[in-house]
């Protein structure tokens, strides 16, 4: 479960492709921003995992919001979840094709279209998604160990060369978060944790969900917060804080991490990291594919989407119908990007993931409020700190960050104007569609409406 979550976050992709932009926007305080974001998400996880003890459902956000804030808002949230996770998956597959095509060209001089390689990625992920979930976990485990190991080697090389000069304590001075670009920086930083909430999605497949979900969630958030903060801090330390901020704000920003690896360890590590970022993108595609398939499965089981999506593979226990549907959607989007000659990274990846990350942040804020509402009358023996104050504080923080993400949406998409307006339309549209579906079910079939999110889990899985 931890491998699924951390692999979805793609540590190498974050520290090589996102952290430099965060440094360029927020300056020296970027490492502290990762820790602050981690603390906010730990507060969220405190209530989130408390509710997981009483609500076990593959459509985690949907089920939590439905139980805490009502089924109408829950169904709307379900549709937002389906769109968010299903858009992130082909977007990351497009990034895989982009990185793989570039590496193959540099190594052999051969030009293979990115969409062909992305299609291979989608097919492989679909096969793994169809098989037992434990096989996917093993694949993700190997990929995750390799990418984390490369970053640890880089960190060790920086410390070995620069010693304590690489550790600038000014990065953890709270005053560094008072700079003008801090709002945009937090938008990028909080997005780096996307996917940690997937622990609850796998609750139905865990041997001991009451213990596993809570433990895996806290381990994943804690690891990501510390690993991101330390990695970002040492990347800055590789050049010196001021110079790193200048480099990150320049055209060389995206290559900042690879340059640090080559400077303090060797070209071989930079080359290896260029290869491992492909592995990182594949792992993230697999992790988000599994999450997206389980939301499709949960809604198919409820009849909120075609019921064939709610079928389980008798042999492997995976949500077979949802896996096939998700794979077909991925291939269609990748093929469309290829036919339109879209930029696989600057358009397919950034645009789809911008919508998905924004949707997940908004759902996190709603889920936190739902936890508070669920335990408001009966804390079920839980402390007020865990089920009252933590959910309310995290809801406030996540709501602010969601608003900032909308205001600074150009940082996520790389575009301005009409493009951003169009990209922001899908989320409120599907939310309202969910409301309409729920109202229709409540009016025409009250018994079915009352049974939403209360299916017999042990019978179906």
User: Which pLDDT band holds residue 24 (cuts at 50, 70, 90)?
Assistant: confident
Which among 8, 36, 13, 11 has a CA at the least distance from the CA of 400? 36
> Is residue 316's pLDDT more than 60?
no
User: Which pLDDT band holds residue 459 (cuts at 50, 70, 90)?
Assistant: very low
- 209-219: per-residue pLDDT in tens? 677 878 888 88
At 57 the pLDDT is: 60
Read off the pLDDT of each residue in 18-33 and give the average, rounded to a whole number: 87
User: Which pLDDT band holds residue 239 (cuts at 50, 70, 90)?
Assistant: very high
Q: By the 8 A CB rule, do 21 and 253 touch?
A: yes
Q: What is the mean pLDDT of the chain?
A: 85
> Is residue 186's pLDDT more than 90?
no
Which among 434, 411, 405, 439 has a CA at the least distance from the CA of 190? 405
In this predicted structure, which of 40-49, 105-114, 206-215 has the lowest mean pLDDT?
A: 206-215
User: Which pLDDT band holds residue 425 (cuts at 50, 70, 90)?
Assistant: very high
User: To the nearest whole percent, how much of the chain has pLDDT over 90?
Assistant: 39
In this predicted structure, which of 152-156, 170-174, 246-250, 304-308 has the lowest mean pLDDT?
A: 246-250
At 133 the pLDDT is: 57
Read off the pLDDT of each residue in 134-156 and give the average, rounded to a whole number: 81
> Is residue 430's pLDDT more than 70?
yes
- For residue 167, report the phi and psi dihedrals to the nearest 5 degrees: -110, 85
At 89 the pLDDT is: 92
At 216 the pLDDT is: 86
Read off the pLDDT of each residue in 317-343 and give the average, rounded to a whole number: 90
In this predicted structure, which of 126-130, 137-141, 235-239 has the lowest mean pLDDT?
A: 137-141
> Is residue 410's pLDDT more than 60?
yes
Rounded to the nearest angstrom, the gap between the alpha carbon of residue 97 and the centroid of all alpha carbons in its chain is 19
- Reported residue count of the chain is 461
Q: By the 8 A CB rule, do 237 and 168 touch?
A: yes
- Buried b or exposed e, range 238-257, using 16+ CB within 10 angstroms: bbebeebbebbbeeebebbb
User: Cα separation of 133 and 284, whole Å?
Assistant: 15
Give the residue with greater pLDDT, 50 vs 188.
50
Task: State the burial class of residue 361 (Cβ atoms within 10 Å of its Cβ: 0-12, 13-18, 19+).
Answer: buried
Q: By the 8 A CB rule, do 204 and 125 touch?
A: no
In this predicted structure, which of 219-233, 312-326, 407-421, 443-457 has the lowest mean pLDDT?
A: 443-457
Rounded to the nearest angstrom, the gap between the alpha carbon of residue 403 and the centroid of all alpha carbons in its chain is 18
């Amino acid at each position: 479960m931890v491998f699924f979550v951390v692999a979805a976050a793609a540590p190498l992709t974050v520290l090589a492709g996102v952290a430099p932009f965060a440094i360029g926007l927020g300056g020296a305080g970027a490492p502290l921003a990762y820790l602050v974001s981690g603390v906010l998400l730990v507060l969220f996880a405190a209530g989130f995992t408390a509710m997981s003890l009483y609500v076990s459902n593959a459509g985690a956000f949907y089920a939590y919001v439905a139980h805490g804030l009502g089924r109408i808002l829950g169904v709307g949230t379900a549709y937002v979840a389906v769109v968010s996770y299903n858009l992130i998956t082909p977007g990351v597959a497009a990034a895989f094709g982009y990185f793989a095509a570039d590496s193959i060209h540099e190594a052999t001089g051969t030009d293979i279209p990115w969409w062909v390689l992305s299609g291979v990625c989608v097919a492989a992920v679909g096969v793994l998604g169809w098989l037992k979930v434990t096989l996917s976990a093993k694949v993700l485990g190997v990929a995750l160990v390799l990418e984390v190991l490369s970053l640890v080697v880089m960190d060790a090389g920086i410390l070995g060369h620069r010693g304590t000069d690489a550790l600038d304590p000014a990065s953890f001075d709270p005053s560094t978060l008072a700079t003008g670009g801090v709002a945009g920086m937090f938008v990028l930083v909080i997005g780096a944790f996307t996917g940690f909430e997937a622990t609850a999605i796998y609750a139905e497949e865990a041997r001991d969900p009451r213990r596993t979900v809570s433990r895996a969630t806290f381990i994943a958030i804690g690891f990501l917060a510390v690993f991101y903060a330390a990695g970002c801090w040492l990347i800055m330390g590789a050049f010196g804080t001021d110079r790193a901020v200048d480099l990150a704000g320049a055209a060389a920003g995206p290559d900042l991490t690879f340059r640090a690896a080559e400077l303090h360890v060797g070209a071989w590590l930079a080359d290896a990291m260029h290869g491992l970022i492909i592995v990182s993108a594949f792992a993230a595609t697999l992790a988000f594919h599994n999450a997206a398939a389980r939301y499709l499965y949960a809604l198919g089981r409820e009849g909120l989407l075609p019921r064939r999506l709610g079928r389980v593979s008798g042999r492997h226990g995976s949500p077979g119908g949802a896996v096939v549907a998700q794979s077909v959607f991925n291939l269609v989007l990748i093929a469309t990007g290829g036919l339109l000659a879209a930029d696989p990274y600057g358009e397919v990846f950034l645009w789809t993931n911008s919508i998905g990350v924004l949707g997940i942040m908004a759902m996190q804020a709603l889920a936190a409020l739902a936890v508070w509402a669920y335990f408001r009358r009966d804390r079920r023996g839980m402390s007020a700190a865990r089920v009252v104050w933590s959910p309310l504080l995290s809801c406030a923080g996540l709501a602010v960050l969601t608003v900032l993400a909308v205001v600074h949406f150009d940082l996520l998409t790389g575009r301005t104007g009409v493009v951003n307006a169009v990209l922001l339309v899908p989320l409120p549209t599907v939310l309202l569609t969910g409301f309409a579906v729920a109202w229709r079910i409540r009016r025409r079939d009250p018994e079915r409406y009352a049974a939403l999110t209360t299916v017999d889990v042990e019978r179906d899985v």
